[in-house]
Amino acid sequence: MALDHDVILVENFRESLDLYQRSLVWAMTAAAAFFILTLSLGDPKLPSVSVLYGQLSGPAAWFVALGLFFVLGILAGSALRSAEAALAKLDVKSEVLAAVLLYPSLATNTNGFVRIGTVMFSPIAVLIAFGLELRRESVGAVERDLSWWLGLVLFVVLIAAPYLGIASRVWHQLGSQSWRRS
């Protein structure tokens, strides 16, 4: 009976890593779309954006891309926590565990730049795009009050929070000796 339990945990681990990776890739796509849409927001001739079977205005597509970026970050973090939980509950010999950890994923990648870079690409792209839009909008604008700046800081923290949480979790390769100590 113990073997069935471990088989299920290994399958849950693999599926969680797959969901984590898909979520990160889609989040990077949403962040890139947000960035590209930001570059075209100042264009008065901004065409509508085709989405599935309909059309969205440029600003609406901009907000949809931002929302997708945020939701996909939460989903990726949730999938990573599920993979960590399955890994922690695995009660197998070290050779089997080492084999399980060879499953190719962004969380188990041995290259730290790849592990952290794929996580941080999205918030960096979104924050740069948002900064460009703020700069474009603030040309000739009056000085902002303290509540506006506090709202901006809260927005930046809210946008980056899911991805900073993921980056702290994958700082060490999932399943590595340094991961187990942290």
In this prediction the pTM is 0.83
Residue among 169, 131, 136 nearest 153 (CA): 131
Tokens 């970026």: give the residue: 69
119 confidence band (pLDDT: 50, 70, 90)? very high
Tokens 């969901």: give the residue: 19
44 confidence band (pLDDT: 50, 70, 90)? low
Beta bridge mates, 51: 54
C-alpha distances in angstroms, 153 versus 1, 59, 149, 158, 160?
Answer: 52, 22, 6, 9, 11
Whether residue 181 is predicted with pLDDT greater than 60 in this model: the reply is no
So where are the chain's domains? 2-181
| Separation of CA 153 from chain center | 19
Tokens 């994958």: give the residue: 170
Buried residues in 144-160 as b, exposed as e (16+ CB within 10 A): eeeeeeeeeeeeeeebb
Whether residue 68 is predicted with pLDDT greater than 70 in this model: the reply is yes
* Average pLDDT rounded to a whole number, residues 87-97: 75
Q: What percent of the chain has pLDDT over 90?
A: 30
Strand blocks (E) in the chain: 49-51, 54-56
Instruction: Please give the Cα distance from 7 to 166 (Å, whole number).
Output: 26
Whether residue 180 is predicted with pLDDT greater than 60 in this model: the reply is no
Tokens of 86: 């399955």
Q: Would you state the pLDDT for residue 125?
A: 94
Contact partners, residue 92, CB within 8 Å, separation at least 6: 6, 100
Provide the greatest CA pair distance for the chain.
Answer: 71
Question: Phi first, then psi: what are they for 42, rounded to 5°?
Answer: -75, -10
Tokens of 181: 């100590």
Beta bridge mates, 54: 51
Instruction: Please give the Cα distance from 67 to 126 (Å, whole number).
Output: 11
